[in-house]
């Protein structure tokens, strides 16, 4: 059955990542932990953009909500990291819901600009309350505050395994979501909103739900990022961090479950490599965006799925 094949593929990827924990050299070990956390963010972005057709330019607001929701709690209120992580997830979801209530009255280009403006306002708010957030300079979270129960997140090995656990949960939930009846409705909304309305679905409700789930993912990623790597700064909530998940998703394949991870992995190493040979790594980002929309708008996995469409890989969720 297609379902089992897809599940096997995703479990295989997770097993491979677990194997890398024992095999990868220290430098890549840290990189992959970071990529897995960012891939959760990209998965969240993909749920809104890839599956529901909501092209947002303001997801940094939701990532930032998780980042600061968790970071400020442990830094100023000495909260437990576990509690902070949960708070971060909820902050992302709640903010996505609130933004969605307003932004989803618009569509297309207007939606992009509205989300961009909200994110910009959020970024500026972080700067404005610099006495708490320390603005661009950011907060360094002390080692003692980064304890997830008995797990020390500043330890490389623990951090990798925690990242993998969160990534695995996010990935499998993502898989379950897109294979669920609601996942089908999300795709229907992307494909033809008017048709879906005439099948009895309220476009606003469906999109709001999808955006909120997307916010929960983004919040989780932001909170985990801050707690694991011990840094919370305004730069991580800037417009670049709205573009980043879009880039990952476009590269890996919008509307595919593994696309965000694949895109994050490739883009991370591409920029990493570019930075080592030249200081023009921004050029790589820009060129990647242009080339992708021009020549491969479906991304890697999307193209594979379309090419093999008639028989072979159409089961790729």
Partner 1 sequence: MEFGPFLLLALMEGLVTAAVLALTASGLSLVFGIMRVVNVAHGAFFMLGAVLAWFTAQWVPGPPAVAFAVALIVCPLIVGAIAALADTAILKRLNYEPEATIVATIGLLYILEQAALSLFGPDARPVPAPFNIRLQLPWFGYSGYKLAVVAAAIIVLLGVWLILKHTRAGLVMRATQIDRDTARAFGINVDRVYAGVFAMGAGLAAIAAVLIVPIQQAHYLMGGDPLLLSFIVVIIGGLGSLRGTLVAALLIGLSDGVISTFFAPTLAKIIATLVVALVLVFRPQGLFGTRTT
Partner 2 sequence: MAAVILLQAHGLTRHFDGLKAVDGVDFVLKEGEIHALIGPNGAGKTTFVSLLSGRIPAQSGTIHLKGRDITKLPAHKRVKAGIAYTFQITQVYAALTVFDNVALAVQSRGAHPIRAAAMAALERVGLETRAGQIAGTLSYGHQRVLEIAMGLALKPTLLILDEPTQGLAQGEIATFKEIVRAVVPETTVLLIEHNMDVVMDLATRITVLNFGTILATGTPEEIRANRAVQAAYLGEPC
Q: Could you tell me which residues come within 8 angstroms of residue 45 by beta carbon, excluding any fewer than 6 positions away?
A: 56, 59, 214, 217, 218, 245, 246, 248, 249, 260
Minimum distance between the CB of residue 197 and partner 2, rounded to whole angstroms? 5
Q: Which entry of partner 2, partner 1, none binds 40, CB below 5 to 8 A by partner kind?
A: none
Catalog residues that contact partner 1 under the rule CB under 8 A.
55, 57, 102-103, 105-106, 108-110, 112-114, 117-118, 120-121, 124-125, 127-128, 243, 246, 250, 279-280, 282-283, 285-290, 292-294, 297
> Residue 255: left (phi > 0), alpha (psi -120 to 50), or beta?
left
Binding partner 2 (rule: CB under 8 A), the pick from 1, 109, 199, 277 is 199
By CB under 8 A, residue 5 contacts partner 2? no
- Yes or no: say if 175 and 43 are a contact pair by the CB < 8 Å rule: no
Q: How many residues make contact with partner 2 (CB under 8 A)? A: 18
Closer CB to partner 1, 109 or 199, in the complex: 109
What's phi and psi for 233, nearest 5 deg?
-135, 160
Q: Which is nearer to partner 1, 20 or 187 (CB)?
A: 187
- In the complex, least distance from residue 203 CB atom to partner 2, rounded to whole angstroms: 8
Q: How many CB atoms lie within 10 A of CB 184?
A: 12
Whole-number Å distance between alpha carbons of 191 and 185: 10
Instruction: Report which of 57, 109, 42 is spatially closest to residue 299, judged by C-alpha positions.
Output: 42
Q: Which of 99, 185, 257, 292 binds partner 2 (CB under 8 A)?
A: 185
Nearer to partner 1, 11 or 107 (CB): 107
- Given a contact cutoff of 8 angstroms between Cβ atoms, the answer to whether 66 and 124 are in contact is no
Rounded least distance, CB 34 to partner 2, Å:
34
CA–CA gap between residue 165 and residue 283 (Å, rounded): 34
What is the secondary structure of 219-255 as a DSSP string?
HHHHHHHHHHH-EE-GGGGSTHHHHHHHHHHHHH-TT
By CB under 8 A, residue 198 contacts partner 2 = yes
Can you tell me which of 35, 164, 188, 227 binds partner 2, judged by CB under 8 A? Answer: 188
Q: How far is the CB of 36 from partner 1 (least distance, A)?
A: 25
Q: Of partner 1, partner 2, none, which one does residue 191 interact with (CB within 5 to 8 Å by kind)?
A: partner 2
Closest C-alpha among 172, 200, 204, 171 to residue 52: 204
Q: Interface with partner 2 by CB under 8 A: which range of 119-127, 196-204, 262-270, 284-292?
A: 196-204
From the list 5, 76, 184, 307, which residue makes contact with partner 2 (rule: CB under 8 A)? 184
- Residue 151 phi, psi dihedral angles, 5° rounding: -90, 125
- Under the rule (CB under 8 A), what is the footprint of partner 2? 181, 184-185, 187-188, 191-192, 194-203, 309
């Amino acid at each position: 059955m297609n379902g089992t094949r897809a599940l096997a593929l995703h479990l295989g990827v997770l097993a491979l990542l677990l194997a890398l924990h024992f095999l990868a050299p220290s430098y890549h070990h840290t990189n992959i932990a970071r990529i897995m956390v960012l891939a959760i963010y990209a998965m969240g972005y993909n749920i809104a953009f890839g599956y529901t057709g909501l092209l947002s330019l303001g997801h940094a607001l939701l990532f930032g909500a998780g980042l600061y929701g968790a970071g400020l709690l442990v830094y100023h209120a000495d909260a437990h990291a576990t509690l902070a992580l949960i708070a971060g997830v909820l902050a992302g979801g709640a903010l996505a819901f609130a933004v969605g209530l307003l932004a989803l009255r618009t569509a297309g280009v207007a939606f992009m600009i509205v989300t961009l403006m909200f994110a910009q306002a959020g970024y500026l708010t972080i700067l404005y309350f610099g006495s708490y957030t320390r603005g661009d300079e950011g907060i360094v979270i002390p080692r003692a505050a980064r304890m997830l129960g008995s797990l020390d997140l500043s330890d490389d090995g623990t951090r990798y395994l925690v990242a993998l656990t969160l990534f695995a949960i996010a990935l499998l939930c993502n898989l379950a979501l897109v294979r669920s009846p609601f996942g089908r409705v999300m795709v229907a909304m992307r494909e033809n909103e008017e048709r879906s309305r005439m099948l009895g679905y309220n476009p606003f409700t469906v999109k709001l739900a999808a955006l909120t789930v997307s916010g929960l993912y983004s919040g989780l990623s932001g909170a985990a990022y801050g707690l694991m790597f011990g840094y919370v700064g305004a730069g991580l909530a800037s417009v670049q961090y709205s573009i980043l998940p879009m880039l990952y998703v476009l590269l890996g394949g919008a509307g595919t479950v593994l696309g965000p991870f694949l895109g994050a992995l490739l883009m991370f190493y591409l920029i990493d490599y570019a930075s080592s040979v030249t200081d023009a790594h921004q050029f790589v980002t820009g060129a990647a965006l242009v080339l992708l929309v021009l020549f491969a708008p479906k991304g890697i996995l999307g193209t594979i799925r379309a090419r093999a469409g008639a028989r072979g890989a159409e089961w790729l969720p």
